[in-house]
């Protein structure tokens, strides 16, 4: 695929170009293993001296086609699929940080990611400092330590819907010689390409808009190929010094700065942790991506229509939608996502936690689900679901108030979504 194709063309045709007489749609290689004629042919693959497939835990052609499409959409140099968004964020950090290291993250992130960082990775000896998304440059600067290995944020935070100030976070990361890792799940590459704003690594929960139909859990990591690890060999020894588990290969030397990060994450972390995407699920993600550009427009139109309706409703105490003029995230959203943000609207129902839960119980079209960013409208009360492990201070730092309803507009007709909300807000 030519790089200059528009985003919609890449959504439809990127990643896979069939040859003469080959399948038009991406074939599903439903095979755990691949046949070789001689043992020495296979040995070269194990030594990373030749590229090819030998076992689906490491690589599978179906997954690689889909990863290649997402890599083209993000404008990166290499990408990989993972079994979930959780695995993607874990791998992205663990690929460059280990026991004794430190990471700076915004506090406004997905609850599952917060738990991964603050509890599970902390137990693995990695410390995280959480900074407010609207911290000053000085406050951000002060969060770094000599052992800091990365900065993490979400383009549009789930569910707080704050927009990442890319300039502020990218310049702080680069000043301290570490990459900016951005979870681009909510914006998708249709609305924001973080590499154009200074991010170095992008992650996704493909479970959300990329799949878009609620059929398969998955994740992805994409490398921009721009971060020069070799400038900081002491900070990133895993990429810049020989790996004993691969006969002394040095990833940056063998695969260049364009390929080192994803190769290491594939042949080392995927080999050892095995959090793979199944080829069947990769196929579903690809089907979703074929209409991503069409669906995102509709999700955003519906999000804006619902946000405008809620804004004027007497039973609604506050509305947060980064695409809504007047919203305190609007300026940042316009700067980084001028053509749209996402379909998720957060708001508070008058009467707090109990009123929020009562409202949700009355909805007919919008289903209560632990899900978001789906073709079907759904909603969730984060304080009693995804974020229920957090205490009130942590909830406040994550931008989640007890009355917050996360309303994920699908691609139905806006009038029907608004009518459903209106009847559920009636006494
Ligand atoms: C859902 C989500 C995740 C976790 O992804 P899974 O596919 O559920 O593991 C990570 N980040 C964000 C922003 C999400 O919305």
Q: Whose CA is nearest to atom 6 of ligand 1?
A: 85
CATH code of the domain in which 144 resides: 3.40.640.10
Instruction: Provide the 8-state DSSP code for 195.
Output: G
Residue 3 has what pLDDT?
A: 53
Instruction: Give the pLDDT of residue 345.
Output: 98
CA of 32 to the centre of ligand 1 (A): 26
Closest CA to 382 of 426, 330, 347: 347
Report the CATH number at residue 308.
3.90.1150.10
Cβ-proximal residues to 399 (8 Å cutoff; 6+ apart), any chain: 107, 108, 133, 157, 159, 160, 161, 162
Q: Is residue 128 part of a domain?
A: yes
4 located within any domain = no
Helices of type H across 312-351: 330-336
Residue nearest to atom 1 of ligand 1 (CA): 205
Domain range for residue 43? 23-287
Query: Token digits for 416?
Result: 């029907």
Mark whether 123 and 144 lie in a shared domain. Answer: yes
Q: Are residues 78 and 60 in the same domain?
A: yes
- Does 197 reside within a domain? yes
Q: Indicate if 197 and 223 belong to the same structural domain.
A: yes
- Are 303 and 280 contained in the same domain? no
Same-domain pairing of 352 and 259: no
Same domain, 349 and 260: no
Classify residue 3: in a domain, yes or no: no
Which residue, judged by its Cα, is nearest atom 5 of ligand 1? 85
- Supply 172's token pair: 């702080």
How far away, in angstroms, is 96 Cα from ligand 1 center?
20
Instruction: Output the residue whose Cα is nearest ligand 1's atom 2.
Output: 205
Atom of ligand 1 nearest to the CA of 207: 7
- In Å, what is the CA distance from 81 to each residue of 71, 202, 276, 340? 10, 12, 7, 26
> Are both 108 and 133 inside the same structural domain?
yes
Kindly state whether residues 251 and 203 are assigned to the same domain.
Answer: yes
Which residues are within 8 A (CB) of 197 and not within 5 positions of it... i.e. 6 or more apart?
A: 166, 167, 170, 336
Which atom from ligand 1 is nearest to the alpha carbon of 86? Answer: 9
- 45 CA to middle of ligand 1, Å? 33
Q: Identify the three-state secondary structure at position 295.
A: helix
Mutate to test the pocket of ligand 1, among 81, 112, 184, 299 (most ligand atoms within 8 A of CB): 112
Using the mean position of ligand 1's atoms as its centre, give its distance from the Cα of residue 85 in Å.
5
Edge to edge, the sheet with strand 180-183 lists 78-82, 219-223, 201-205, 180-183, 148-154, 102-106, 127-131
Last residue of a domain, one of 287, 303, 329: 287
Question: Ligand 1: which of 160, 208, 219, 370 to mutate, judged by most atoms within 8 Å of the beta carbon?
Answer: 208
Distance of CA 111 to the CA centre of its chain: 13
**Domain membership flag for residue 9:** no
Residue of the nearest CA to atom 4 in ligand 1? 85
- The reported pLDDT for the residue numbered 383 is 83
End position of a domain, from candidates 259, 287, 315:
287
Assess whether 421 and 379 both reside in one domain: yes
Is 99 domain-assigned? yes
205 C-alpha to center of ligand 1: Å?
5
Q: Are strands 201-205 and 180-183 parallel, antiparallel or unpaired?
A: parallel
Q: What is the largest CA-CA distance in the chain?
A: 74
| 180 lies in the same domain as 124 | yes
* Listed residues 239, 268, 287: the one ending a domain: 287
Ligand 1 lining (C-beta closer than 6 Å): 84-86, 110, 112-113, 154, 158, 183, 185-186, 205, 207-208, 217, 219
Rg (CA), the chain: 22
Evaluate whether residue 112 is within a structural domain: yes
- Quote the ligand 1 centre to 219 CA distance (angstroms): 8
Terminal Cα-to-Cα distance of the chain (whole angstroms): 55
* Residue tagged 């405008």 (tokens): 308
> Does some domain include residue 398?
yes
pLDDT tens-digit profile, the chain (427 residues): 445 689 999 999 999 999 999 999 999 999 999 999 999 988 888 888 888 899 999 999 999 999 999 999 999 999 999 999 999 999 999 999 999 999 999 999 998 999 999 999 999 999 999 999 999 999 999 999 999 999 999 999 998 899 999 999 999 999 999 999 999 999 999 999 999 999 999 999 999 999 999 999 999 999 999 999 999 999 999 999 999 988 899 999 999 999 999 999 999 999 999 999 999 999 999 999 999 999 999 999 999 999 999 999 999 999 999 999 999 999 999 999 999 999 999 999 999 888 998 999 999 999 999 999 999 999 999 888 877 877 778 878 777 888 899 999 999 999 999 999 999 999 8
Write the residue with the smallest CA distance to atom 10 of ligand 1.
85
What is residue 329's predicted lDDT score, i.e. its pLDDT? 97
Q: What are the backbone angles phi and psi of residue 157, rounded to the nearest 5°?
A: -75, 140
Distance 178 CA to ligand 1 centre (A): 23
| pLDDT for the residue 9 | 97
Give the number of the atom of ligand 1 that is nearest the alpha carbon of residue 157: 13
Number of domains in the chain: 2
* pLDDT attached to residue 68: 98
Statement to judge: residues 62 and 117 lie in one domain: yes
| Neighbouring C-beta atoms of residue 318, cutoff 10 Å | 14
Assess whether 232 and 309 both reside in one domain: no
């Amino acid at each position: 695929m030519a790089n200059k194709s528009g985003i919609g063309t890449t959504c439809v045709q990127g990643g896979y170009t069939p040859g003469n007489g080959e399948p038009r749609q991406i074939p599903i290689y439903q095979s755990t293993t691949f046949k070789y004629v001689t043992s020495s042919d296979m040995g070269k693959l194990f030594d990373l001296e030749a590229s090819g497939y030998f076992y689906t835990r490491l690589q599978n052609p179906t997954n690689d086609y889909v990863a290649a499409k997402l890599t083209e959409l993000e404008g990166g140099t290499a990408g990989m699929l993972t079994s979930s968004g959780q695995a993607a964020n874990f791998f992205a950090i663990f690929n460059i940080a280990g026991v004794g290291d430190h990471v700076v993250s915004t506090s406004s992130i997905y609850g599952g990611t917060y738990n991964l960082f603050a509890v599970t990775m902390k137990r693995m000896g990695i410390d995280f400092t959480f900074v407010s998304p609207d911290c000053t440059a000085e406050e951000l600067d002060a969060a770094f330590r000599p052992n800091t290995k990365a900065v993490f944020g979400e383009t549009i935070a789930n569910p707080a819907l704050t927009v990442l100030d890319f300039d502020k976070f990218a310049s702080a990361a680069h000043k301290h010689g570490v990459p900016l890792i951005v979870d681009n799940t909510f914006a998708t590459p249709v609305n924001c390409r973080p590499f154009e704003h200074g991010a170095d690594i992008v992650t996704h929960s493909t479970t959300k808009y990329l799949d878009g139909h609620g059929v398969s859990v998955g994740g992805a990591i994409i490398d921009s190929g721009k971060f020069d690890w070799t400038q900081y060999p002491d900070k990133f020894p895993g990429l810049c010094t020989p790996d004993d588990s691969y006969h002394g290969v040095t990833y940056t030397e063998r695969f260049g700065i364009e390929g080192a990060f994803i190769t290491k994450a594939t042949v080392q972390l995927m080999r050892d942790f095995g959090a793979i995407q199944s080829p069947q699920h990769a196929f579903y993600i690809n089907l979703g991506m074929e209409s991503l550009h069409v669906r995102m427009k509709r999700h955003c139109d519906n999000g804006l229509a619902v946000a405008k309706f809620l804004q004027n409703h007497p039973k609604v105490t506050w509305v947060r939608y980064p695409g809504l003029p007047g919203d305190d995230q609007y300026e940042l959203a316009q700067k980084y996502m001028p053509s749209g943000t996402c379909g998720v609207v957060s708001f508070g129902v008058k009467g707090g936690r109990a009123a929020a839960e009562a409202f949700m119980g009355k909805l007919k079209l919008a289903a209560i689900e632990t899900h978001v960013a789906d073709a079907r409208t759904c909603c969730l009360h984060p304080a009693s679901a995804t974020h229920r492990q957090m205490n009130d201070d942590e909830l406040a730092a994550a931008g989640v108030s007890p009355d917050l309803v996360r309303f994920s507009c699908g691609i139905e007709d806006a009038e029907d979504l608004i009518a459903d909300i209106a009847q559920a807000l009636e006494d």
